[in-house]
Structure 1
Amino acid sequence: MNFLKHNVFLLLLLVSVSSYADDGYRLWLKYDRIADAAKRETYARSAQFIALNGSSLILKTAAEELQAGLQGLLGKPIPIIASAGNQTGGILLTVNKAANPDVQRLNDEGYQITNRSNIAIAGKTDAGVLYGVFALLRQLQTAQPINGLSITSSPKIQYRLLNHWDNTNGTIERGYAGESLWKWIELPETIDPRYRDYARANASLGINGTVINNVNASARFLTAEYLEKVAALANVFRSYGIRLYLSVYFPAPKTIGGLKTADPLDPDVKKWWTDKVKEIYKVIPDFGGFLVKANSEGEPGPQDYGRDHADGANMLAEALAPYDGIVMWRAFVYKADPKADRFKAAYEEFKHLDGKFNRKVIVQVKNGPIDFQPREPFSPLFGNMPKTPLAMEFQITQEYMGHSTNWVYEAPLFKECLDSDTYVSRKGSTVANVVDGSLHNYPLTAIAGVANTGADRNWTGHPMAQANWYAFGRLAWDHTLSSEAIAREWINMTLTQEPKAVKTITDLMLRSREIYVNYNTPIGLSRPWTGAHFAPEPWQNQSSRPDWTAIYYHRADSIGLGFDRTASGSNALEQYRPEVRRVWENAETCPLPYLLWFHHVPWTKKLSTGRTLWDELCTRFYTGADSVGWMQQQWAQVKPAVDPQLFADVAGRLQTQHKEAIWWRDSWLLYFQPFARQPIPSPFKKPERTLEDVKRLSDIYRLR
């Protein structure tokens, strides 16, 4: 089998390894030579050749990835051959559709890895084999034993996607790692090698789809000019089993089609979309489908014509009917009603439409009912739409979690939501069971993560933010994995394998999100609303709509703090099952992390910690900010075990994070103190600056 045409790729990969070994570009795909000679020799005895049984594009990719990985880890060339014959001591890559009953129990993208006389990586499809290859490389990278190896794994969710909020001008909405990866001016003629490396990273996690443009979409992406560019990206992604999707601007039939309306029930509009879909599939035969944000935050949609979300989604689904594509319709919708509770909006808009969507439609729901806050209760839509597939939407990019200067490991946030009990049919009916389809027998299942990638050399701005991309991908494949296991895996593949350092960094990662919550939004506070979604401005009360102000969320007054969502308030808790509601609607039993989400609590009320609300807030804000100092101390301890360039980068960002944590602490407490009329409790020292000082700091930030 001739693989000469791929030698350039392998050469470039090896040059990249030697030239940029320490700048974060390689992510978790670091195939450096294994230092332990005995372990390296043990692995080498089972990897003397790669036998490829098949010739598909994805199988060839699998063989090349395995070859490159093994040659890096073992420090010697590994040949690819067409057939093993009677040879032993090699690795066999096989699509096995009928012969092996164990393989038949896999789903279409699952894999089986066994080690007898040869290591065999088998799957029902070539994509399954590719994922098995990356699983074997992960096993070697993390120094796991391979003798007697027997691994069987299938993804629990069918569609596992990244959502990019990238624009035609190269900017990224809520992007904190430089400009867009996609060089639209150069495409389709020039293909940046980085596109392939992006696909490699995603495939290594089992991510099988990517939406390449912003949900606040430009209709330009549907023009012939841009479809040619988009098709060039799809051509790169295809060899890694990744399908490309587009966010669409709902009124496109008017803006680029010349029609007088975009009414989803209008015959001419339907025909326009049918023709457009046909045009797309001519240039992208494996096109994945559409993601839609409509009638939300000013984006047009079917309600502009007196129609509902099902009307809009179903019209697009009908256009996709002849093809293997789907519609992902976002449930992030809310109206500017000063008397309403934004918390309730998605449920009120979508619950009554359950069962009315086309079989090709998935409703994509944010993990919480507001907007990617550092901590939110799970969205009440989960479990309440049994006839409509619901996709999970997490945010990997740190819109509300410190952008690129704060170290926040997000796996605990993802797990907190996925493991939440909806009590839909019984105890143990988790959000994960809804999303993976096992609770309601959904025919389609999906999970999406709003990407944190950009043109920065290390992909994610903050080096440790790479772990959030990694964690999303691993949980999208298997949501039963623990945050700790994923952290350890990523550290071993990316940072160091020195045991003490691994333990220290793991502890740092697992505590980082709770530390951030403590100095940012403790006890269920919801985030002040600012344009940048960063600067602390709890005093902000001017906006074109009430739910774009800070005071809308925290509701501080002379009595207390928090948003009453019980029956005496907005009654948002009515949207949850009785078992959930009973715990959350009573301020005495409501868990402290959610207390201010659901209750307006008096400043002097004594909490389960034995402190009053005011004293508890002070304690959380001060200990949270102080804990960033602890993070700095812990990071200093691992200096000998990690790359110097990376160490210095993270150390500098931790210094910035400490300043910002104090800024958050002072802003909240100085603003709240006149309402609470309480002193800062001992042993905490009163902030050195005034409220006017921190207000000026926020004003300066907004001018950046």
Structure 2
Amino acid sequence: MTSARIWRTVIAIPLFLSANSAAAEDGYALWLRHPATSVGQINVKRLGDSETMRIAEAELRRDLAAPTQPIVLALATMPAVKAMRLPFEGLGDEGYLVRTVAIDGQRVTLVAGNSDRGVLYGTFALIRHLATGGSGDAIDLRSAPKVRLRVLNHWDNLDESVERGYAGQSIWDWWTLPDFRDPRYTDYARANASIGINGTVLNNVNAKAESLTAPYIAKAAALADIFRPWGIRVYLSVKFSAPIELGGLKTADPRDPAVAAWWKAKADEIYRTIPDFGGFLVKANSEGQPGPRDYGASHADGANMLAAAVRDHGGIVMWRAFVYAETDPEDRAKQAYTEFKPLDGKFADNVLVQVKNGAIDFQPREPFHPLFGAMPRTPLMIEFQITKEYLGFATHLAYLGPLFTETLDAKTGRKPGETVADVVDGQAEHHSLSGMAGVANIGRDRDWSGSTFNQANWYAFGRLAWDPDLSAEAIARAWAKQTFGNDPQVVDTVTTMMMGSREAVVDYTGALGLAHLVATSHHYGPGPWVADLARPEWNPVYYHRADATGIGFDRTATGSNAVSQYAGPAAKAFAKADTTPESLLLWFHHVPWNRRMANGRTLWGDLVAHYDQGVAYVAGMQRQWDGLKSKIDEERWQKTATYLAIQNREARCWRDASLAYWMAVNHLPLPAGVRPPEHDLPWYKAQQFPLAPGQAH
């Protein structure tokens, strides 16, 4: 092939918008803000043809400023590429290689992979490299995903509400699907592909059986058609009792042949409409949802029956280990381990057990879930919550990258050096099936996730699902550059704000291992005093166990003995207050208020200092953001400034309400010089949030 034939495509493209541009931005473009003014040219050639390859070419035209050299998109099997003997081994179907090479004597940037999906991911890697200030010369990027299934879980309901959603209604307009295919669905797929996400569970884990009816299968198929060229498969959450509700059976017992036959027929029906359907996500025997234990069967019995239904089609089952019922009143944190550990090795090979990052429920800080490393014969899929159910919904700035990496980097104690990430990516036990799930924070709001900074949590999840070894700070810095531009002051300031923001929420909502201190149902404001709900584990007092002598949940051998579910060095450290990290102290131990902490303060004094530290951090973010006003477009700057003001007010409320309650319990004065709560305890108890978003009304 001559260079003349390769370079016949030359088009004009614009440059990236300057961060100082006066043009308004509403956040819709996410981290993929493309040039707005046509200056410069790009040479791009596609060797091979598919819809995915055409998308990759279009992305380069849309998103790149003029590169220093031409770009070639190609599969590794192309003769011109094959002759170069480049290192494609180990890249699999999704990995990519982006490298400066010579073709026909011409110096070019080659974007290649073993499949067109690899080429697409390589295209986005090149765009990210250049958008974050990387050189256009001598490029050498090579990467393959360490986690096979990188999936968003949408808790979206068929009535278009979103459980724990804080960015408006569902982006799926079920009423007009499959006929109207909103262009936003394509933009959604594009954003996900840009960060390596390859799967979407369309509906809530608290599923309705109707999602498996023919009309809704057709609606899911319409979305699957849109997502397919972007490398994204669709999955459905299913209700375990669907054979009764839809099939007229008298039972949903997974051991009943008629039940298994119904699910097999239903799977066949789905795959006739969606040939690359990914499979099922199941929430069973948790929070009132039906499941196999209703019939005396095990979670493995239920999962394996569904796995058999999708096996011939290449489908998988993601079976959630979030089991939350009244069956283990001693300690809610122990229940998943108690039920699932004995089932290790009993699940079919196309089943992933989906385990939350911590043993309770997506708290601002939890120790890693003890199941990680405890089920070596079972692939475990970690589940993070991108939507900030316990971290201020959409209005509080809380970058979750450090939360994600804190869990992924944690040592399981099962093997020397083994981390949670090693378990999740399959490396620990050489599992070929691996996965990471994130509960999506996406809605119909124009900026997708309720605020600009919430977009960073979607971005961070995707980047870490591709490579769990990435650093939260590096991801934050890359997101800041792609979102706001490369001005050093903006990037440095935004990155600094982000990196301490999650810890600030921990501080002003409950530091030192406290958890689940929220008021009833909505999970928004403080409610550490709540003690009148029907089941013990629904009440915040169950988790903090504060009294006049001390505070904290004793999970050692003298208490619930939840520490016994951990192993090796982790179990040994958590078993004693002196060796437990102070950030988790009250999670594992009930200790006196006057306990001396490492910094010399009493526990009470240190807890008060954490509340003040969290509030002060938010005020600091306000000052930092004010300093960027001239460098950020007005619309995004103003919305963030307003939300930071809300966060400041509500952080102070969290601090004041909590301190008022703790003082009523421990009868201790505040340390000298500390500001007292603005109101008395009855005032805070009287505050209600009956119409908070993200819950049924």
Structure 1 length-normalised TM = 0.92
Distance across 2 between alignment mates of 1:655 and 1:443: 47
- Which one of 5, 29, 34 corresponds to residue 32 of structure 2? 29
The answer (yes or no) to whether the contact 1:25–1:459 under 8 Å persists in 2 is yes
TM superposition shift of 1:61: 1.6
The answer (yes or no) to whether the contact 1:220–1:226 under 8 Å persists in 2 is yes
- Which one of 88, 110, 117 corresponds to residue 103 of structure 1? 88
TM superposition shift of 1:334: 2.5
- Which one of 407, 428, 435 corresponds to residue 424 of structure 2? 435
Distance across 2 between alignment mates of 1:660 and 1:277: 48
Moved more, 92-101 or 431-440: 92-101
Corresponding residue number in structure 1 for 2:411: 421
The answer (yes or no) to whether the contact 1:405–1:653 under 8 Å persists in 2 is yes
Distance across 2 between alignment mates of 1:484 and 1:596: 28
1:468 and 2:457 equivalent? yes
Corresponding residue number in structure 2 for 1:303: 293
TM superposition shift of 1:241: 0.6
Corresponding residue number in structure 2 for 1:256: 246
- Which one of 178, 182, 185 corresponds to residue 188 of structure 1? 178
1:90 and 2:93 equivalent? no
TM superposition shift of 1:498: 1.2
Corresponding residue number in structure 2 for 1:236: 226
The answer (yes or no) to whether the contact 2:279–2:315 under 8 Å persists in 1 is yes
Q: Where do residues 202-601 of structure 1 align in structure 2 (5 Å cutoff)?
A: 202-337=192-327, 339-426=329-416, 428-529=417-518, 530-601=520-591
- Which one of 585, 594, 598 corresponds to residue 604 of structure 1? 594
| Alignment-mate amino acid for residue 274 of structure 1 | K
Distance across 2 between alignment mates of 1:219 and 1:414: 32
Corresponding residue number in structure 2 for 1:619: 609
Deviations 1:479-507 (A, max 9, x none): 11111111111111112321112111111
Distance across 2 between alignment mates of 1:110 and 1:683: 57
| Alignment-mate amino acid for residue 556 of structure 1 | A
Distance across 2 between alignment mates of 1:25 and 1:474: 20
Distance across 2 between alignment mates of 1:565 and 1:633: 41
| Alignment-mate amino acid for residue 136 of structure 1 | L
Distance across 2 between alignment mates of 1:392 and 1:330: 10
Moved more, 576-585 or 597-606: 576-585
Corresponding residue number in structure 1 for 2:60: 66
Distance across 1 between alignment mates of 2:274 and 2:395: 38
| Alignment-mate amino acid for residue 617 of structure 2 | S
TM superposition shift of 1:244: 0.3
TM superposition shift of 1:68: 1.9
| Alignment-mate amino acid for residue 96 of structure 1 | A
Secondary structure, aligned partner of 1:103: coil
The answer (yes or no) to whether the contact 2:69–2:137 under 8 Å persists in 1 is no
Deviations 1:248-303 (A, max 9, x none): 00000000111111111111111100100000001100000000000000000000
Distance across 1 between alignment mates of 2:314 and 2:86: 28
| Alignment-mate amino acid for residue 98 of structure 2 | I
The answer (yes or no) to whether the contact 1:614–1:676 under 8 Å persists in 2 is no
TM superposition shift of 1:528: 2.1
| Count of residue correspondences | 666
Structure 2 length-normalised TM = 0.93
Corresponding residue number in structure 2 for 1:83: none
TM superposition shift of 1:19: 13
Structure 2 CA distance for partners of 1:59 and 1:701, relative to 1, 3 Å: closer
TM superposition shift of 1:338: 7.2
The answer (yes or no) to whether the contact 1:206–1:477 under 8 Å persists in 2 is yes
Secondary structure, aligned partner of 1:463: coil
The answer (yes or no) to whether the contact 2:509–2:517 under 8 Å persists in 1 is no
Distance across 2 between alignment mates of 1:625 and 1:62: 45
The answer (yes or no) to whether the contact 2:513–2:582 under 8 Å persists in 1 is yes
Distance across 2 between alignment mates of 1:472 and 1:250: 29
Percent identical across equivalent pairs? Answer: 51
The answer (yes or no) to whether the contact 1:338–1:546 under 8 Å persists in 2 is no
Structure 2 CA distance for partners of 1:312 and 1:396, relative to 1, 3 Å: same
Distance across 1 between alignment mates of 2:358 and 2:690: 31
Corresponding residue number in structure 2 for 1:635: 625
The answer (yes or no) to whether the contact 1:110–1:152 under 8 Å persists in 2 is yes
TM superposition shift of 1:21: 5.6
Moved more, 607-616 or 559-568: 607-616
Structure 2 CA distance for partners of 1:397 and 1:345, relative to 1, 3 Å: same
Distance across 2 between alignment mates of 1:282 and 1:401: 42
Secondary structure, aligned partner of 1:618: helix
The answer (yes or no) to whether the contact 1:115–1:147 under 8 Å persists in 2 is yes
Distance across 2 between alignment mates of 1:349 and 1:528: 26
| Alignment-mate amino acid for residue 76 of structure 2 | N
Structure 2 CA distance for partners of 1:203 and 1:20, relative to 1, 3 Å: farther
Deviations 1:341-377 (A, max 9, x none): 0111110010000000001000000000000000000
The answer (yes or no) to whether the contact 1:337–1:546 under 8 Å persists in 2 is no
TM superposition shift of 1:443: 2.1
The answer (yes or no) to whether the contact 1:554–1:561 under 8 Å persists in 2 is yes
| Alignment-mate amino acid for residue 99 of structure 2 | T
The answer (yes or no) to whether the contact 1:553–1:562 under 8 Å persists in 2 is yes
Secondary structure, aligned partner of 1:177: coil
The answer (yes or no) to whether the contact 1:31–1:141 under 8 Å persists in 2 is no
Gaps of 5+ in 2: 1-12, 102-106
| Alignment-mate amino acid for residue 611 of structure 1 | R
| Alignment-mate amino acid for residue 52 of structure 1 | R
Corresponding residue number in structure 1 for 2:3: none
| Alignment-mate amino acid for residue 122 of structure 2 | G
Corresponding residue number in structure 1 for 2:49: 55
Corresponding residue number in structure 2 for 1:124: 114
TM superposition shift of 1:667: 1.4
The answer (yes or no) to whether the contact 1:565–1:571 under 8 Å persists in 2 is yes
Corresponding residue number in structure 1 for 2:9: none
Moved more, 568-577 or 140-149: 140-149
Moved more, 365-374 or 54-63: 54-63
Distance across 2 between alignment mates of 1:483 and 1:257: 47
The answer (yes or no) to whether the contact 1:399–1:534 under 8 Å persists in 2 is yes
TM superposition shift of 1:544: 2.5
| Alignment-mate amino acid for residue 149 of structure 1 | I
Structure 2 CA distance for partners of 1:700 and 1:235, relative to 1, 3 Å: closer
Deviations 1:112-151 (A, max 9, x none): 0011311111101111000000111112211210211111
Corresponding residue number in structure 1 for 2:126: 136
The two structures, once aligned, show a CA RMSD in angstroms of 2.0
Secondary structure, aligned partner of 1:479: coil
Secondary structure, aligned partner of 1:523: coil
Distance across 1 between alignment mates of 2:208 and 2:22: 38
Deviations 1:196-225 (A, max 9, x none): 000000000010000010000011110001
Distance across 2 between alignment mates of 1:473 and 1:213: 19
